[in-house]
Amino acid sequence: MSSVSDNLKEQLVSDYFTPNIKAEVIFDTFLTPYIEGIVEKGLGLPKDSLTLIAKELSVDDKSDSEGDKESKEELAALTEEQSGSDERSQENNRGNKVDYVLADEENVYLVELKTSESSITKEQLEVYKRALKKNSPSSPTFGTVLGERLIKILSKDSPGFNIEISTNADELSDNTLRDLWDKICEKRKRYDPDMDEEIYKSWDETAKKSIIAKSMIKNYGWPWRKSYSSRKYLFSLGMIIDYLDAGNRLWEKTVKLVYIVPRKKPDEQKGKEEIEISYIELVKDIKTGYLSEQQDDMAKCIVKAFEEIFENSVWRKMEYGED
């Protein structure tokens, strides 16, 4: 009888080769428990120096000139009118999402997982070019690239929480994120005290904000109400507040971009990007990197899946000269 691990490995491999299934979405979940170690070893960072602080945060690409803003608003209004739903306009507001956000004492790392080279798109690179310009007056920070956008999403009118909070860039900080969390919770308690009493009764003041956020999102049914799906960003805010509550800072940390790819970018193409990108080679990691060192069943399952996916592949022979 096949084990659960073997069955899962077979399904991962099958889904990778199935049309219209985005492999990154599947592997993203299974790699999450290992992502800190993968990036630490891949970038040569100290062990246990990184913390995963969020997933799928929306990137502020700074395409906010008046012309761009008006065009986006017109597009959002047209889309909503044509579709009879505000779901697509929410997507326009949220923008490009980064797979993993990790932080150490000095930097924040935006980590993109790519299980095929074809999924590295020009459109996504353009977003990062605008957000992480090398020659900008100041280094891109968590606040400018991710924090400001998160505040706007959660504080605006429905489907946000309609919270009055400063969006002046010069006034924003880690404390603004804490203030936003407190105001959202206070407003929900006033709006539906009976429901919130049920949500909060099992948590004391030491409870993790991410756990409280998950309870709120579930009990209010936001994942199943398409007009309120962006309220799931409250969970991201909860994870970030947990990180800050552990004594860390975040807002002013410099942002760095990392791509986890099947193979590293060819040397002749390196340095031509308008932004700095660090690359971690996925195929190399499953052979000699962090994943190859893990002994738990899940890690072994992932390694076996990637080995079967890339074993005897045409590009692997071309890249490594294997028979």
Whole-number percent of the chain with pLDDT over 70 = 76
Sheet holding 254-261, edge to edge: 51-58, 97-103, 107-113, 254-261, 277-281
Using an 8 Å Cβ cutoff, are 269 and 203 in contact?
A: no
Q: What is the biggest distance separating any 2 CA atoms in the chain, rounded to whole angstroms? A: 68
Closest CA to 154 of 127, 128, 185: 185
Q: Residue 189 to residues 179, 205, 289: CA-CA distances in angstroms? A: 15, 16, 48
pLDDT score, position 36: 97
**pLDDT tier for residue 130 given thresholds of 50, 70 and 90:** confident
Using an 8 Å Cβ cutoff, are 112 and 216 in contact?
A: no
Q: Whole-model pTM?
A: 0.84
Using an 8 Å Cβ cutoff, are 199 and 225 in contact?
A: no
- Every domain of the chain and the residues it spans: 1-61+97-141+255-323, 63-95, 142-252
Strand intervals (E) in 215-276: 254-261
More confident residue, 52 or 211: 52
Using an 8 Å Cβ cutoff, are 203 and 211 in contact?
A: yes
The CATH code of domain 1-61+97-141+255-323 reads 3.40.1350.10
Residues 6+ apart with CB under 8 A from 2: 10
Residues 6+ apart with CB under 8 A from 203: 211, 212, 215
More confident residue, 7 or 322: 7
pLDDT score, position 156: 85
Whether the pLDDT of residue 200 is over 90: the answer is no
Among the residue ranges 81-85, 190-194, 278-282, 296-300, the one predicted with the least confidence is 81-85
For residues 166-171, average pLDDT = 82
Using an 8 Å Cβ cutoff, are 198 and 212 in contact?
A: no
Looking at every residue in the chain, the average pLDDT score rounds to 81
> 34-60, pLDDT tens digit by residue?
999 999 999 999 999 999 999 999 998
β-partners of residue 280 are 260
> 99-129, pLDDT tens digit by residue?
999 999 999 999 999 888 777 778 888 888 8
Residues 6+ apart with CB under 8 A from 183: 161, 163, 164, 165
β-partners of residue 279 are 259
Using an 8 Å Cβ cutoff, are 106 and 254 in contact?
A: yes
Using an 8 Å Cβ cutoff, are 229 and 87 in contact?
A: yes
Whether the pLDDT of residue 80 is over 50: the answer is no
* CA 67/CA 73 separation, integer angstroms: 10
pLDDT score, position 40: 96
Residues 6+ apart with CB under 8 A from 133: 140, 274, 275
pLDDT score, position 127: 87
For residues 78-84, average pLDDT = 39
